[in-house]
Chain A
């Protein structure tokens, strides 16, 4: 009995660390609607700065002051980031801020190694909380008790701050309806900055408080960021109580889950999130989001099919690309094939995101399923390559049909997070089911057959399929189905009022996107000759998001350019420097500031400006400007 009680307390201590970080993320999202990918980076910075300060100033005072000062220092960094970077892009399309914070995260990962060195650092134990107290033969670390006590205190303080101060009232009002708060004359700039500072402070505090029990190292951010997102979503976005309850729920399920299934940790949080979201679409304590006032359909330049001249230009571009084998060597051709494959992948996500208005955080699942589809068909059934290429993506299609059915019941960030949960579940199956998938050692020996084995033939194959896929997706955009899909994106209510079955349309779009992603994955398997669970992983899903956002989410096929630029840049940088993350992150941040509509979005704006005779839609002039 004593054991179960102690295990319960241990779970509470884990929950405390998770809650501190999650509460900050929840506050930031609630008010600013920023999906702050850099939250883990601030957590890690908190740990590193606290490590330096507590090493420098010894003694009890030095330690505790070091923790607090470190959190304040990092919060100051957060303020700087918000004022210099994020303020510039509050007007950008939804999720664009994700791209900026993603760039920052990449940079921080390399920066901490440059500043603090590559080795894992061991921080001091907390003075006064070094040992354990005995409880019926079980040891409970006193530091755990400290954390258990701390998190309700923080929760209480936050509650007081939000309920009893004018600032708190404004924050709650902004969480509910920020346009209205702006309309009432509240200075949103400083409200956003202060909220961001508080969120970052909590993240850094969470990191700093880990140093007595963890090692400080450069992968801390990735270790926590996804789990924290999941906790925030389970609790309901913007709800502090929700974050607290979710942190306790997840940690306790883990603490007791490993007693029965020792391998459960790897997937537990995602299983919980999937179940919660299916049962309660806005998390445990969340409320339905107020309908967004600014939908993409109002701000974009109206879409239209290619004109005759542009169509010719596209053909010419394709012809030029097809001539690469005449000038490029084997390496250039393989890189070209890889880029073509990622064009397909990015275009499929772009279709879902900009045409359907459904941002998926787990699109790699269908890419990876396509790749594994090939692996099963080629290695186990021994089918020829053509048959594999046709049938392999069907696994992606099947996965999209199943998961899409549940996902399209939700919207916004909840949709995104449910897709992430499904992707992680698929990933962990590929990772764990060693007998079938080979686990993380993957499936090897999937090389193309003779007719496609040469780099030039494989390049032509990939390029051809990429051209077909992009063209097909464009045709769908301008088909009646495409119009219906755009209607559901722009106004769910109005589209349903005219008799469009929104969920079925969205589900169909999800399946189309998943199948096309599966095609990309299938080609990718043949390009690399092997399949690993990586191809289902979060980092690939994030890469796809980055490509779409970089290209411009409000364009018809911006992802094509986004994929080419991002993939070329990252392949080139990885090959040229060990600091590829720093440079890539820096370039992304610069691009975000320079092209707040994405590369293609900016090009289109410029072109439209040069052609003033085009009548502008009236709606565009009456854009509601928030954050000012």
Chain B
């Protein structure tokens, strides 16, 4: 039988399609970008618009020291194994000088480990896990978004002022939810040793059976609730909670809920007075942000989501690093990136030398309902640099090189 013959023929056909492309034409600098476009379009579509805008701006301003910046973008279909394949294609075939992007924490970690192994510079855009810069951090990986720890610290600052002593938590049952709850509990108990944790609920991510969960939390009779669910789970949780009166006379502190991606779908069901992190684009009055939002709305005729900011700043940061390094040598890029400061729509940010985390912050405010839509009010920008542990603690967590 000819099966193996076919195997050979098949591979040969494939080779024709994948033969190593010619070296990047002179006059171009290519960077690779990977994200979960097909799995999480609600987040990645605005993200893509953000980086497209940044790319246009970078090239209009002269590119990378006169060379045109090109972004080669790949989908990872939400799987770490596919992300590694895409990273390999970008590095081996497309000859990109840098990898950027990723949304899910496990994909961010897989690509970061790939970058470490293949000695490629990787700028993680979205993954929130603390591990990517700390316990599993490596020299080739930098991260833009404020980490789980930072967002927890920002929320704890506000939550500790609440009189509530009996707390319940609800979080999706995977690493992000688990570590968000763990950090929040630790920081909160440090500030308020009088707090009691009376219940915890761990619905599977994307599969919450909201009725029984809401009922179970209510039965524990907490004074305040920490919520880490997001997306469709959040919608179900909020709807059941509203119907069953779970949020009446209870304070709620919630991760990410103020981000337009998650707040907007709640429409008229938006619960009022939750303390949240997020992005109140309608409420930010700084010249940097005005400039960004005008350009964004002019180009896409749409309002930005948090993903837009992340996508925009990822490519802006990548360009700033490449301009300073002026080389495709990853070592020079690392040297350039460590301690590099740059403007962003949220104000100046710096990539810390000690753990490669950027000091991009987040807005903390309260949810409110206006004209049948959820918004954030009383928002304050929290600079990321004020919400990180001491350098001694950080270097203890990071593996030695």
Contact = CB atoms under 8 A, between A and B. Distances in A.
Contact of A310 (B1, B85, B89, B199): B1
Contacts of A564: 6-7, 10-11
Contacts of A315: 4
Nearest to A329: B20
B48 to A, nearest CB: 9
A110 B38 contact: yes
B105 interface: yes
A574 B77 contact: yes
A400 to B, nearest CB: 22
B173 interface: yes
B110 A318 contact: no
* Most B C-beta atoms less than 10 A away, residue of A306, A310, A330: A330
A82 to B, nearest CB: 28
B81 A535 contact: yes
Nearest 8 CB-CB pairings of A with B: A320-B8, A317-B4, A118-B41, A329-B20, A317-B5, A215-B235, A330-B92, A255-B212
23 contacts: A7-B219, A119-B264, A214-B236, A215-B235, A217-B232, A263-B173, A265-B209, A266-B207, A313-B1, A316-B4, A317-B6, A320-B11, A328-B18, A329-B18, A332-B14, A332-B18, A439-B175, A440-B105, A441-B105, A528-B80, A528-B81, A532-B81, A534-B79
A14 B106 contact: no
Nearest to A432: B173
Nearest to A438: B175
Contact of B86 (A138, A215, A220, A575): A575
Contacts of B267: 122
Interface in B8-33: 8-12, 14-15, 17-20
Contacts of B178: 434, 439
B75 A580 contact: yes
Contact of A314 (B3, B14, B211, B216): B3
B212 A321 contact: no
Contact of A444 (B41, B113, B235): B113
A219 B19 contact: no
A534 B15 contact: no
B45 interface: yes
B110 A263 contact: no
Given A440-B175, A568-B14, A318 B8 contact: yes
B75 A578 contact: yes
A574 B1 contact: no
A306 B1 contact: yes
Contacts of B199: 262
Contact of B88 (A251, A254, A334): A334
A450 to B, nearest CB: 13
A561 B80 contact: no
A113 B41 CA distance: 8
**Interface SS of chain B:** helix
Given A215-B236, A218-B41, A266-B173, A11 B212 contact: yes
Given A213-B240, A313-B1, A336-B11, A581 B211 contact: no
Contacts of A331: 18, 20, 88-89, 92-93
A251 B15 CA distance: 51
Contacts, number: 285
Contacts of A121: 265
B43 to A, nearest CB: 8
B390 interface: no
Nearest to A524: B81
Contacts of A6: 215
Nearest to B305: A119
A223 interface: yes
A3 B219 contact: yes
A442 B112 CA distance: 13
A277 to B, nearest CB: 22
A382 interface: no
Interface of A: 3, 6-7, 10-11, 13-14, 110, 113, 118-122, 130-132, 138-141, 143-144, 213-215, 217-220, 223, 227, 251, 254-255, 258-259, 262-263, 265-266, 306, 310, 313-321, 323-324, 327-332, 334-336, 338-339, 343, 431-432, 434, 439-442, 444-445, 447, 455, 467, 524, 528-530, 532, 534-535, 539, 556-557, 560-561, 564-565, 568, 571-572, 574-575, 577-581, 600
Interface in B23-75: 37-38, 41-42, 45, 74-75
A529 B111 CA distance: 10
Contacts of A130: 243
Contacts of A310: 1-2
B367 interface: no
Contacts of A579: 38
B211 A144 contact: yes
B75 A332 contact: no
B102 to A, nearest CB: 13
Contacts of A530: 80, 84, 109-110, 113
A442 B212 contact: no
A400 B111 CA distance: 31
A217 B233 CA distance: 11
Contacts of B86: 574-575
A218 B9 CA distance: 38
A259 B89 CA distance: 47
B286 interface: no
A313 to B, nearest CB: 5
Contacts of B77: 574, 580-581
B136 A444 contact: yes
Interface in B192-248: 199-204, 206-207, 209-213, 215-216, 218-219, 231-232, 235-236, 239-240, 243-245
Contacts of B293: none
Contacts of A317: 2-9
A334 B110 contact: no
Nearest to A467: B4
Contacts of A329: 18-20, 92-93
Interface string B374-396: 00000000000000000000000
B4 A219 contact: no
A446 to B, nearest CB: 9
Given A255-B211, A441-B105, A574-B86, 20 more contacts: A7-B212, A119-B42, A122-B235, A258-B203, A258-B212, A259-B219, A313-B4, A313-B5, A314-B2, A317-B8, A321-B8, A440-B175, A441-B136, A441-B175, A444-B109, A529-B84, A530-B80, A530-B84, A530-B110, A575-B85
Contacts of B11: 320-321, 324, 328, 336, 339, 564
Interface string B309-347: 000000000000000000000000000000000000000
